[in-house]
């Protein structure tokens, strides 16, 4: 994990004794402090094992039922190949394309296809038939989530290659977020999505 990892730092700082004591401090206080330190160390070791399994992958396959079926079909080959660096960009491309098609190819004022933040802003606008949620606050939340997806993920992963120690976890998180947007669109607007 490396010496700079938070868990390593926490593990190195685990105390197995008392910080303050006197001659009258009972042995049971020392025993209790030692047991508390051991419990803390064991918890940190468990967290490190979990963290390493996420980074390195595990023998367990990704549960494809957890994701939008069309999105999964589009990315399953690169997921199965564990080409984690490509998963995020392909998810961003697919989700943006699907939103654009389902929303009827919205255009900007010059007649050009909307992309990225502008696409999600228009597709999920308060007056759009494809807005998500039941109230204005929810409409805004879903719109911001879509716009954030475009800005925080799509912009990064389509314009540069990321070298990450947590590439698997990151890729599966992006896959989950993209799937969430598509799933919510299908849930709220099934039957009147263009091209579906």
Same domain? 175 vs 117:
yes
Question: Residue 195 falls within a domain, yes or no?
Answer: no
pLDDT tens column, 42-93: 998 888 887 776 655 554 546 667 889 999 999 999 988 888 888 999 999 9
Same domain? 52 vs 135:
no
- What string of pLDDT tens digits covers the 196 residues of the chain? 677 778 888 899 999 999 898 999 999 999 999 999 999 999 988 888 877 766 555 545 466 678 899 999 999 999 888 888 889 999 999 999 999 999 999 999 999 999 999 999 999 999 998 899 999 999 999 999 999 999 988 767 666 677 778 888 889 999 999 999 999 999 988 877 766 5
Domain range holding 40? 6-56
Q: Give how many domains the chain has, as a whole number.
A: 2
From the CB of residue 148, how many other CB atoms can be counted at a distance below 10 Å? 14
Question: Residue 196 falls within a domain, yes or no?
Answer: no
Q: Which long-range contacts (CB under 8 A, 24 or more apart) does 130-138 make?
A: 130/102, 130/103, 130/185, 130/189, 130/193, 132/184, 132/185, 132/188, 133/188
DSSP-derived secondary structure letter, 113: B
């Amino acid at each position: 994990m490396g010496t700079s990892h938070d868990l390593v730092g926490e593990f190195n700082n685990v105390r197995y004794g008392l910080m303050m004591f006197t001659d009258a401090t009972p042995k049971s206080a020392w025993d209790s402090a030692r047991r508390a330190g051991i419990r803390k160390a064991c918890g940190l070791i468990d967290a490190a094992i979990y963290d390493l399994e996420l980074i390195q992958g595990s023998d367990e396959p990704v549960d494809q039922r957890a994701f939008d079926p069309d999105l999964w079909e589009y990315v399953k080959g690169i997921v199965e190949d564990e080409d984690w660096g490509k998963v995020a960009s392909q998810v961003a491309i697919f989700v943006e394309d699907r939103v654009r098609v389902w929303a009827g190819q919205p255009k900007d004022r010059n007649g050009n296809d909307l992309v990225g933040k502008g696409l999600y802003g228009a597709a999920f606008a308060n007056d759009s038939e494809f807005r998500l949620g039941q109230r204005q606050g929810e409409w805004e939340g879903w719109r911001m989530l879509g716009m954030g997806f475009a800005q925080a993920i799509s912009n990064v992963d389509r314009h540069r290659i990321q070298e990450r120690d947590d590439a698997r976890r990151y890729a599966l998180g992006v896959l989950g977020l993209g799937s969430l947007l598509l799933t919510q669109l299908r849930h709220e607007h099934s039957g009147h999505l263009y091209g579906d």
